[in-house]
Structure 1
Amino acid sequence: MLYGISYYPEYMPYDRLEQDVRMMRDAGINYARIGDSVWAMCEPAPGRIDVDLLGPTLEELHRAGIQVVLCTPTYAIPSWLSLEHPEVMNSRADGTPWPYGDRQNADFTQPAYLFYAERIIRRIMERWADHPAVIGVQVDNETGGRAIHSEAATREFVRRLEEKFGGIENLNEAWGLNFWSHRLTDYAQLWSPGDRAQGGGNSNPGYDLEWRRYQADLVTEFLAWQAGIVREYLREDQFVTHDCVGGHGLPHSNRKAVGEVVDVPAENFPHHTQEALSHPPRGGHPPTYHDASGIHGAYQLFQRGDMARASGHRNFLVTEMNPISVGGPAHNFPAYDGQWRLAAYTCISRGANAVAYWHWHSTHHGSETYSHGVLNHDLEENRNLTEVRRIGHELQRAGDQLTDLEAEAEVAFLYSPDSRYLLGFEPCLAVPGTAQGDRCSYERIFDTFYRAFFDERAQATVTHSLEDLEKYPVVVAPSLYAAADESFDRLLNYAEQGGHLVLGIRSGYMDDLGRARWERAPGPLRPGVGAGYNLYSNLESAIPVTSVDGLPLDEGAAGEGWMDELVLEGAEALAVYDHHEFGRFPAVVTNRYGKGRVTYVGTLPNAALGRSVARWVLAEAEVRPLGADLPESVRCTRARRPDGRLLRFFTNWSSRAATVPVPVAGRSVLSEEAVAIGEEIELGPWDVAVLAEEGSR
């Protein structure tokens, strides 16, 4: 198990390398990530390259037994590159260039950028790749936050369009370019792309879908290019990684595609703390860059871990987690005591093979002065470091038992980047309290369904793939808005063969080219749903729902934001709206389909309705969630070690202590004490316990 930090000695106000490394070693840290922002220091002028400045840090860390992931420093370019080659600066959607003075503002498809980036990568790799401290290399950093709008990138986009669609008449038909007289006679007539929210002129959803796919492809190709260079220098025991932003990730990065070009995926997991980490969720910090959809509470960390595995890898690295606080000068929320430890073991329980904090020390200057490190600006001992040390010492004893875990899952959530792109371009939900479309509509819908099943204690996974769905008794497609007919056929086949398929609003409405289907909704899913609709409405306020038969509802169950005017065509209604007009339409329907079942939720359920539906679905699928008799704040999940032994993780997401009766005999991984059936585990506030089950090999 890797446990550590990102370290930037070049940001320090004075030389304290030896002291820092001594403090790290004392805290049980065995891993450091370095070098992601050193390009200007290593190459202060074009061609004047000296990468030896990394040497003292590597040597000191190595002497302390701390392993290193070395980064390629390509996401933040030196100022001379922008001055000598202004063409490397990326352009906004309206054609104006991004100015220097930020990061990730270069066009990484531009030849001059690629030339200089390759040169600095090779010099660092030639000098340091074989250093005994280096166990892997991270290529670039959080790539995919900004689209590439250069003329060259646009020309390449048009070339790929022509390759995909062939003659221009095919593009006219696919995008419906008769609309607003946009019909083309030649690909050269295609107007400039761009997101309307960023000043671009394009208004066609099919165009935007292809553009977003293309931008994600550019990110994947860029990372694959870097990985190819790096691998020329690596030993067989070293790996290539890249750190995606956790949760829904950056707008122009496809987690599954990136996972296919790295050896080990990595994720950065900034998260809410204090009351906003509790379960049931309470409060919530102001929205930040890592919280666009409003997710908070315990389930944010479980969801991030489950989504990390959507890269296609069983295990992953968490390269950035909250130290003191992350977010900015008006977003200071240091965790309560115990929450750092709780977050670390939650990530491990879902398959993390590394837990690391961004970063070791708070910087004294720059735009991230208040994205704190483990040490604050005084660089002294604090309660964050005290807890980091406790975790480090526990992992020194037990880390081998917690590495390469395979997290259990009963429910698979199908993630659709295409649906996210289209619902970002033409949002179906409004920002609450406004008439403005919410460009995080897909994220809100997805998070709502994930939380519903988390509330009912289901163990989950997230997948981009339609393969091997049979492993899961329940598959949830929160909003499969856009897909080819074959994808919908595959989902219906899953239900027909005995699975329970749960669908949310907008599913089946668009095809894979971003066109509204010319058939009654939900399109190809209609036979399985056993209901259809042709009208739908946004909801300005929540509408209560009542049970029809067999679906016990929690108090306050209601639909929010959206409703479909569902008409039964063989399905059963489970809940209807308590409303003077919409009361004739069911809110939730279910339909037996072959050996299985399809349940359709025709609204955005609030927490009470979502939990009620999840409880009913799990019971129908004969899934018995772990820990049903535990206090509401306590969650139990399970993972399997490579040797076959099962581990149970008990986590308490509350400031109140809880008592957990032990359902199986075993041994506490963290305290190393034997535990008998029927004994009780005392969980303090924000506490965690890990039990290795006896006889579970």
Structure 2
Amino acid sequence: MFYGVDYYPEHWPEDRWEIDAHLMEEAGINVVRLAEFAWAKLEPDEGLYDFSWLDKAISILSRHGIKVVLGTPTAAPPKWLIDKHPEILPVDEDGHVKGFGSRRHYCYNNPVYRQYTKKIVTAMAEHYESNPDVICWHIDNEFGCHDTTVCYCDNCMKEFKEWLKERYGTIDKLNESWGTVFWSQTYKDWDSVIIPRRAVTSHNPSLLLDYKRFSSDSVVKYQKVQIDILREITPDKKITHNFMGLFNQIDYYKLAKDLDFISWDNYPINHFSDSIDQISSSIALSHDVMRGVKKKNFWVMEQQSGPTGWEEMGRQLKPSEMRLWVYQSIAHGADAIVYFRWRACTFGTEEYWHGILDHDGIPRRRYNEVKQVGHELRKIGAMIEGSEVKAEVAIIRSFDNEWAFEIQPHKRGFRYMEQIKKYYKYFYSRNIPVDIISPEDDLSGYKLVLAPGLIMVNEKITDNIKNYVRDGGTFLTTWRAGAKRWDNRMNDQSLLGPLKELLGIDIEEYSVIPDDESIDVVFGDNKGTANTWYDVISPVTAKVLGEYKADYISGKAVITVNKYGRGNAYYVGTIPSDNIIKVLLDKVTGECGISVAGLKSNEGIEVLRRIKGADEFYFVLNFNRKPSTIIVNKQMVDILTGEYLNGEITLEPFEVRVLSNR
């Protein structure tokens, strides 16, 4: 198993590099990421390459048994390049050029920048082609961070029109799809098509959705420029990029497709509060989203190792807390942990973004905790290597649908992802593993599939879901499902559109629920409330499970289930209170025969299982700030300590156990 750190030797005197490498080796570090922001050091002037310093750093690390993930430095174009070609800078929706002085200051569609990208990537690939210590390429850094996915420059205008031509073929088809007859927005030809720079009021929602799709595809296309070079010159080296969890400006399913594996940057302390659910469940969901983009294990390329901060600082990591987050990462499918960063920098924007070592480079408590984990992973790494998370439940995350709700949230403050979190929390609190998947993924291996917020569907997605339910699967979706076409236009057929037969209901009418109003709902003997939205449901072939108990909709259906083929399709016409979701999902999971972890635990203890053949590994993580208990219902061994366990076990705050069935 790889256990590493992000290292920036260019920030420190060369006589320090040997000291750092020795300390890394002592801590069990066997891999580092290098050079992802070092373009100005690697190419101080156009065509003048200097790899000597990087060669020396790699050589020193190699002597201490440390391999290298090498970053392409394209996330931070150097000043000399901006001075020569200021046209590569991105443009905001007001037409203002974003200047030099930070990072990610380039447009993905700029042809000049693509040429310079090819040059630096080619030079690096040719120089390190035969270096056995470089085992992997890391492309760029955090595509889209700082809201840099979308650009509104003239190059993007040109590329967007070409993208639209390929998508629609003719201008008449585009006009029909977007409904441009509204407000006299009809385009006579391709030259007249606009990009959504700031207008008097809202742009056409179909235009906005397509521009989000185009901007995402532009990132994927730019990444492919680098991948093609690296594949040709260094075919034996793996390629990755560091994703950002729940980030939604890029379709991660598409971005992941050309990579060997994905990595992501995990900073749980940024989400920290006293609420267990808000911290650990949110990070768990992020891990599962990352595992789902390729449906395989992943790396954490930046695992938090200290207080974060640019202008302001986050809080300190408490003793054993860093270790806890590391093991949560592994539990959810991380095959490598790489900390950010080795040592806090004494200059630049990230002076307050701490690492394993503070600014003075002296090993202290956090280093000792990293060292503890390093020694533990040397002990158990071979055992858990090759193991995977196996889930019987899947939640569909659709970037297109998330973008549609981002454009038109229906109600101020509503977020697509918040509804996914609400359902995910049920499974998390019961230690039921979940895969987060694309709506086009194969559903046949799951007992239960949920798709909150599936407002847009196309024929492929519809057929995928229908076939799954017809063959015996259980499906649950929520309000507004099927209400729109894939081009973000409303369906002109009855609501639910192509999902109507599957769900067996009609929607009589609907409305938002104002913040100052409350609607009561009942599910059997259970009383709860509804918020945000309500559908007034008329069952056709479906059975009513829950009803409203308020105003003129009292007695109308709010939750239904429909038999379809050999399976069942559930519909929830609102956002119910947590107690109603609990009762509903208790019923659904019980009928599906969803299995839970073979350990009973207090609230705040996460238990997740990784499987390798007949071997099972249970990661037991106490996120409580107090001692908490689990009940082990058969004898297991803690592979961290060698201790055999059975019955009730007490875990200290932030304690971790890794149990094996044999």
Q: TM-score range, shorter-chain basis?
A: over 0.9
Q: In the alignment, which of 590, 607, 610 is matched to residue 639 of structure 1? A: 610
What's the counterpart of residue 580 of structure 2?
609
Q: Is structure 2 residue 655 aligned with structure 1 residue 687?
A: yes
Counterpart amino acid of residue 164 in structure 1: R
Q: Secondary structure at the match of 1:170?
A: helix
Q: Deviations over 1:601-626 (max 9, x none)?
A: 22223433333332222112121322
Q: Is structure 2 residue 495 aligned with structure 1 residue 539?
A: no
Q: Secondary structure at the match of 1:681?
A: strand
Q: Is structure 2 residue 369 aligned with structure 1 residue 394?
A: no
Q: Is structure 2 residue 614 aligned with structure 1 residue 648?
A: no
1:582 shift after superposition: 4.2
What's the counterpart of residue 268 of structure 1?
265
What's the counterpart of residue 643 of structure 2?
673
Given that 2:599 and 2:630 are in contact with CA atoms closer than 8 Å, whether structure 1 keeps it comes out as no
1:203 shift after superposition: 0.6
Q: Deviations over 1:532-579 (max 9, x none)?
A: 323222331473644342x756xxx43222222223333333333443
Task: Supply the distance in 1 between the matched residues of 2:230 and 2:578 (Cα, whole angstroms).
Answer: 47
Given that 1:62 and 1:132 are in contact with CA atoms closer than 8 Å, whether structure 2 keeps it comes out as no
Task: Supply the distance in 1 between the matched residues of 2:256 and 2:303 (Cα, whole angstroms).
Answer: 20
Q: Is structure 2 residue 252 aligned with structure 1 residue 249?
A: no
Given that 2:526 and 2:580 are in contact with CA atoms closer than 8 Å, whether structure 1 keeps it comes out as no
Counterpart amino acid of residue 622 in structure 1: G
Q: Secondary structure at the match of 2:142?
A: coil
Q: In the alignment, which of 346, 355, 377 is matched to residue 328 of structure 2? A: 346
What's the counterpart of residue 476 of structure 1?
450
Gaps of 5+ in 2: none
What's the counterpart of residue 226 of structure 1?
226
Q: In the alignment, which of 160, 163, 176 is matched to residue 160 of structure 1? A: 163
Counterpart amino acid of residue 585 in structure 1: K
- 1:272-311 to structure 2, matched below 5 A, reads 272=269, 276=273, 279=276, 281=277, 296-311=278-293
Given that 2:36 and 2:141 are in contact with CA atoms closer than 8 Å, whether structure 1 keeps it comes out as yes
Counterpart amino acid of residue 475 in structure 1: V
Count of aligned pairs: 658
Q: Is structure 2 residue 623 aligned with structure 1 residue 624?
A: no
Task: Supply the distance in 2 between the matched residues of 1:191 and 1:235 (Cα, whole angstroms).
Answer: 41
Given that 2:303 and 2:340 are in contact with CA atoms closer than 8 Å, whether structure 1 keeps it comes out as yes
Task: Supply the distance in 2 between the matched residues of 1:322 and 1:624 (Cα, whole angstroms).
Answer: 32
Given that 1:635 and 1:651 are in contact with CA atoms closer than 8 Å, whether structure 2 keeps it comes out as yes
Task: Supply the distance in 2 between the matched residues of 1:609 and 1:548 (Cα, whole angstroms).
Answer: 7
- More divergent stretch after superposition (333-342 vs 353-362): 333-342
- 1:248-647 to structure 2, matched below 5 A, reads 248-251=246-249, 253-272=250-269, 276=273, 279=276, 281=277, 296-431=278-413, 438=414, 441-533=415-507, 534-541=509-516, 543=518, 545-549=520-524, 552=526, 557-626=528-597, 629-641=600-612, 643-647=613-617
Q: Secondary structure at the match of 1:50?
A: coil
Counterpart amino acid of residue 30 in structure 1: N
Q: Secondary structure at the match of 2:346?
A: coil
Counterpart amino acid of residue 340 in structure 2: W
Q: Secondary structure at the match of 2:316?
A: coil
Residue 333 and residue 644 in structure 1: after superposition, are their counterparts in 2 closer, same or farther (change >3 A)? same
Task: Supply the distance in 2 between the matched residues of 1:453 and 1:6 (Cα, whole angstroms).
Answer: 33
Gaps of 5+ in 1: 282-295, 432-437
Task: Supply the distance in 1 between the matched residues of 2:606 and 2:270 (Cα, whole angstroms).
Answer: 17
1:475 shift after superposition: 0.1
Task: Supply the distance in 2 between the matched residues of 1:303 and 1:95 (Cα, whole angstroms).
Answer: 37
Q: Secondary structure at the match of 1:298?
A: helix
Given that 1:266 and 1:316 are in contact with CA atoms closer than 8 Å, whether structure 2 keeps it comes out as yes
Given that 1:418 and 1:483 are in contact with CA atoms closer than 8 Å, whether structure 2 keeps it comes out as no
Q: Is structure 2 residue 97 aligned with structure 1 residue 126?
A: no
Given that 1:141 and 1:242 are in contact with CA atoms closer than 8 Å, whether structure 2 keeps it comes out as yes
What's the counterpart of residue 180 of structure 2?
177
Residue 250 and residue 10 in structure 1: after superposition, are their counterparts in 2 closer, same or farther (change >3 A)? farther
Task: Supply the distance in 2 between the matched residues of 1:110 and 1:173 (Cα, whole angstroms).
Answer: 30
Runs of 4+ in 1 over 6 A off after TM superposition: 199-202
Task: Supply the distance in 2 between the matched residues of 1:351 and 1:606 (Cα, whole angstroms).
Answer: 31
Task: Supply the distance in 2 between the matched residues of 1:27 and 1:262 (Cα, whole angstroms).
Answer: 30
Q: Deviations over 1:168-210 (max 9, x none)?
A: 221111110010010122111112334x5xx797611111222
Q: Deviations over 1:663-690 (max 9, x none)?
A: 2334322113344xx4443322112211
1:35 shift after superposition: 0.3
Q: Deviations over 1:364-417 (max 9, x none)?
A: 222222222122223333332222111111001111122232102121011111
Task: Supply the distance in 2 between the matched residues of 1:108 and 1:578 (Cα, whole angstroms).
Answer: 53
Task: Supply the distance in 1 between the matched residues of 2:584 and 2:341 (Cα, whole angstroms).
Answer: 41
Q: Is structure 2 residue 215 aligned with structure 1 residue 215?
A: yes
Given that 2:91 and 2:97 are in contact with CA atoms closer than 8 Å, whether structure 1 keeps it comes out as yes
Residue 529 and residue 313 in structure 1: after superposition, are their counterparts in 2 closer, same or farther (change >3 A)? closer
Task: Supply the distance in 1 between the matched residues of 2:350 and 2:338 (Cα, whole angstroms).
Answer: 18
1:149 shift after superposition: 2.4
Q: Secondary structure at the match of 2:213?
A: helix
Q: Secondary structure at the match of 1:10?
A: helix
Given that 1:528 and 1:593 are in contact with CA atoms closer than 8 Å, whether structure 2 keeps it comes out as yes
Task: Supply the distance in 2 between the matched residues of 1:36 and 1:374 (Cα, whole angstroms).
Answer: 19
Given that 1:567 and 1:585 are in contact with CA atoms closer than 8 Å, whether structure 2 keeps it comes out as yes
Q: Secondary structure at the match of 1:471?
A: coil
What's the counterpart of residue 631 of structure 2?
661
1:472 shift after superposition: 0.8
What's the counterpart of residue 49 of structure 1?
49
Task: Supply the distance in 1 between the matched residues of 2:383 and 2:461 (Cα, whole angstroms).
Answer: 39
Q: Secondary structure at the match of 2:533?
A: strand
Given that 2:558 and 2:574 are in contact with CA atoms closer than 8 Å, whether structure 1 keeps it comes out as yes
Task: Supply the distance in 1 between the matched residues of 2:201 and 2:512 (Cα, whole angstroms).
Answer: 28
Task: Supply the distance in 2 between the matched residues of 1:177 and 1:274 (Cα, whole angstroms).
Answer: 42
1:474 shift after superposition: 0.5
Q: Deviations over 1:65-95 (max 9, x none)?
A: 1111001111100111111111111111222
What's the counterpart of residue 72 of structure 1?
72
Given that 2:7 and 2:32 are in contact with CA atoms closer than 8 Å, whether structure 1 keeps it comes out as yes
Given that 1:277 and 1:298 are in contact with CA atoms closer than 8 Å, whether structure 2 keeps it comes out as no
Given that 1:348 and 1:402 are in contact with CA atoms closer than 8 Å, whether structure 2 keeps it comes out as no
Task: Supply the distance in 1 between the matched residues of 2:545 and 2:323 (Cα, whole angstroms).
Answer: 41
Residue 613 and residue 544 in structure 1: after superposition, are their counterparts in 2 closer, same or farther (change >3 A)? farther
Given that 1:508 and 1:521 are in contact with CA atoms closer than 8 Å, whether structure 2 keeps it comes out as yes
Task: Supply the distance in 2 between the matched residues of 1:206 and 1:385 (Cα, whole angstroms).
Answer: 51
Counterpart amino acid of residue 44 in structure 1: P
Task: Supply the distance in 2 between the matched residues of 1:331 and 1:505 (Cα, whole angstroms).
Answer: 40
Question: Normalising by structure 1, what TM-score?
Answer: 0.89
Q: Secondary structure at the match of 1:562?
A: strand
Residue 151 and residue 13 in structure 1: after superposition, are their counterparts in 2 closer, same or farther (change >3 A)? same
1:461 shift after superposition: 0.3
1:157 shift after superposition: 1.5
- More divergent stretch after superposition (71-80 vs 362-371): 362-371
Residue 212 and residue 541 in structure 1: after superposition, are their counterparts in 2 closer, same or farther (change >3 A)? same
1:235 shift after superposition: 5.4
State the percentage of identical aligned residues.
28
Relative to total residues, which structure has the larger strand share, 1 or 2?
Answer: 2
Residue 605 and residue 11 in structure 1: after superposition, are their counterparts in 2 closer, same or farther (change >3 A)? farther
1:662 shift after superposition: 1.8
Question: Normalising by structure 2, what TM-score?
Answer: 0.94
